[in-house]
Structure 1
């Protein structure tokens, strides 16, 4: 088992005060903090090998290209993708979703159906709505129950020969629910549908095996796995990526350009137009190495402990309700206190140096389902502690006293 008190020292931002109090950072669902090794790697790139990639004959360009492609291979092995060219660098999960949705505009027609779940982030709803508006396809919603779990019997009823794509998050950002995606993928494939998995919230907590899952697409964001902002990954099966048209036109994604006709480059470059976030792509590999160095089994044990401890302590507060009580969930606790707006609780916690998220968490349909304006969301990472949770509980009690 890793020494998480020692690991915590890797994160310099945690050693500061906010509003005169030691920082407690419980907004990991929004973005993770960065270890020193990641911060140093960004500086190292710009200090030593800054150059454009894939194009230059000179030494720095070759060094930068080698580092960028080495990062792609790290992520291929991390996800257990069959080929490195099935790993596309993007700016984040949002761009990854839009890339696939744009590509499917040429593959769906009026009468076809796209299935999304009731607990999706807006980034995994809006692009599919745009696709349906362009093509005449219909968007169908997989419902969830009061525990924040998808109703699998209803999902099975929705699947048909009309279903062309199913898209669902691996883990809900608003509720922490871990969805049974392996079973959902298998059921969708029985009808010939493709499956897109939004792994933005899952990638920090577990190590997905895309071949074992047999998903057609899997996406995550670098900044949620202790990497830089503006980075992301889209995994796509080779046969699907070859079917999709390019998302953007420009340099790098071409084989030959004339004014009469352009032919496109092979994978992965067909989808990577223009100068990418080179430093970000390289350092995303550094972040993945860091997490694998700790070990995802160790991360899961630590976060499971924090979730159970936090759940028990918070439920001891009278009037507090937790949203998202599925048996399978990760270290996210979304809660409200009866009669108090979540924003007000968050503002008081901030004065105490405690960072939580308040609002609808870009998941307004979830909040509409529960008939609430939003929640207070405390999302824990492996570098958090039970002592910090104790401070959160005391802060919530104080906010309740002040606001009641």
Structure 2
């Protein structure tokens, strides 16, 4: 690089001459010139600072880029025209850069690698959540077992209040939804079965579907959206306000005070609401059969009693306590996982609903397969 084209650097045999202003304002021009000058790949035993007008840390860092910090410190011992202040500045910058850790190497991006990494992360999160739920279920059962035979610790008032909120206040929505679904099932059954001249079997369709599946499943989904979210919001608000910490400071057990009444209330409420759902769904189907198929209520009841066994009622009701326990436990668990902000309460409430519905549908599918294999 000749003198006419050089603004900051020139070389003379094994001597490197610095000139101009090596400051932050000229940083980009310094980078470009040093990049071009470094292509010579020459070694310089002497550095001449006599023509250097200004120098700051940005210029010192660029000089280290050209020579490496170790080489610069070695050349400073016999540099030309270097003041004490600039010598101290250059040595400080060189030592700082020599002790600085190299930036981590950017990993190579791969679409397939990212895809499998996401699958692995999701699997790990699912496993962690499963372990959390299992541990909390065990803690709940332990608390329930050790306090079942101690009537002095029973919180009857809290249980009754939770039953009122969980069961009685949910009756209208459960009745209306199952009634409408029963009517829809009857309409669909009548439409499809009429092509085969078997509309009379609409009674069997409504009876089997609501006694075995729809009543308990719809009730569980509604309770997951209505009650599990309420449990999470209530306990989460207490967690955010540090009320749970206050209970522990007073020597009280939050599991016994907050979780057990809600779990017991759900265990009582869920079978009641499931039974109401069965009645409402069958009633909706009977109403549609009367209007569209001319099947009188008396005939509907006779066919129902003759073709639909009581076994299906018990098979459907057997799932209600299991669903109730898991919905209540998941709602309470998510409430305890609130970190203290309103956003966390919302996130955990959403998680409680999603997890509850997922568990309910998964267990219902497994129960259906089990019943089928057992011939029930």
User: Which TM-score tier does this pair reach, normalised by the shorter chain?
Assistant: under 0.3
* CA radius of gyration, larger in: 2
TM-score, normalization by structure 2: 0.22
> Could you say which structure has the greater relative contact order, defined with CA pairs below 8 angstroms and 6 or more residues apart?
1
TM-score, normalization by structure 1: 0.21
Give the structure with the higher percent strand: 1
